[in-house]
Amino acid sequence: GAVVSQHPSWVICKSGTSVKIECRSLDFQATTMFWYRQFPKQSLMLMATSNEGSKATYEQGVEKDKFLINHASLTLSTLTVTSAHPEDSSFYICSASGGRAYNEQFFGPGTRLTVL
Amino acid sequence: AQKVTQAQTEISVVEKEDVTLDCVYETRDTTYYLFWYKQPPSGELVFLIRRNSFDEQNEISGRYSWNFQKSTSSFNFTITASQVVDSAVYFCALSAPGNNNDMRFGAGTRLTVKP
């Protein structure tokens, strides 16, 4: 299967700072990338969908100015949590589809964010 | 709208027991895909199976089997002779090309297999 990586795997930051999470498709061109958030003992909730070269589409209730998504290339999407607060602490997972994986999503290993 | 329901929040079994995890879905799309994922404590999702809406054939893979029934909109997952290593949270999910392949997850079922 296709491989998707995320970096960093975990991050701890102070309240008020911004954190950037990278999602890369390693062996295929990802025309679409998805960002999910998972709070402890809960399911994955889709935050936004981004198509390469265009603005991301955010799910209802997700603040686009707080969660900045950039999908500038076919292999890289970034999620920036701006002015992070403790309630943003969560597990963030990206997935990618495209190319030979056009109708399937391949998931990254996730990034655990802790905001102090 | 798409929706996935996993009514079982937690299941606990003793090793070697068989266990079935239920999944019921809702969609208006005629073409869709159903998935099962395993999420161990590490958090990384482990892909188990993908089934398209036109293929109702049941599948068996080792100790795992899946029963897809469109008539009841269900896609149940059975683990035979469970093992301690099967302990994890299992998610059922649904996606549809007509919905930008957005994937909707069920709430998950936490399976604990005791020795």
pLDDT of A98 strictly over 90: no
Cis peptide before A109 (omega within 30 of 0): no
Q: Identify the residue among B6, B103, B104 best suited for mutation to test binding to A, counting A beta carbons within 10 A and taking the highest.
A: B103
Residues on chain A bordering chain B, Cβ-to-Cβ distance under 8 angstroms: 1, 32, 34, 38, 41-46, 49, 57, 91, 93, 95, 97, 103-105, 107, 109-110, 112
> A38 by DSSP, 3-state: which?
strand
At B49, list the tokens: 């199976």
Q: What angle do CA B100, B105, B110 make, to 5 degrees?
A: 165
pLDDT tens-digit map of B61-70:
999 999 999 9
pLDDT tens-digit map of A41-93:
999 999 999 988 888 999 999 999 999 999 889 899 999 999 999 999 999 99
> A42 by DSSP, 3-state: which?
coil
Sign, Cα dihedral of B61, B64, B69, B70 = negative
**Average pLDDT of span B17-41:** 95
Cβ contact, residue pair A43, B101, below 8 Å: no
**Average pLDDT of span B15-21:** 98
Using CB atoms, which residue from A105, A109, A110 is nearest to B103? A105
What is the CB neighbour count within 10 angstroms for residue A33?
Answer: 30
Q: Residue A2 — pLDDT band, cuts 50, 70, 90?
A: confident
Q: Residue A28 — pLDDT band, cuts 50, 70, 90?
A: confident
SS (H, E, C) chain B: CCEEECCCCEEEEECCCCEEECCEEECCCCCCEEEEEEECCCCCCEEEEEEECCCCCCEEECCEEEEEEHHHCEEEEEECCCCHHHCEEEEEEEECHHHCCCEEECCCEEEEEEC
What does DSSP assign to residue A67? E
| Cα A59 to Cα A32, B31, B104, distances in angstroms | 15, 22, 12
Q: Identify the residue among B25, B44, B99 best suited for mutation to test binding to A, counting A beta carbons within 10 A and taking the highest.
A: B44
H or E stretch at A49: strand A45-51
Residue A16 has a pLDDT of 97
Residue B48 has a pLDDT of 94
- CB within 8 A of B1, min separation 6: which ones? B26, B27, B28
Closest approach of B106 to chain A, Cα-based (Å): 7
Residue A1 has a pLDDT of 67
pLDDT tens-digit map of B69-104:
999 999 999 999 999 999 999 999 999 877 667 889
Instruction: Select the more confidently predicted residue: A2 or B51.
Output: B51
Instruction: Select the more confidently predicted residue: A1 or B53.
Output: B53
**Average pLDDT of span B39-62:** 91
Using CB atoms, which residue from B37, B101, B108 is nearest to A97? B101
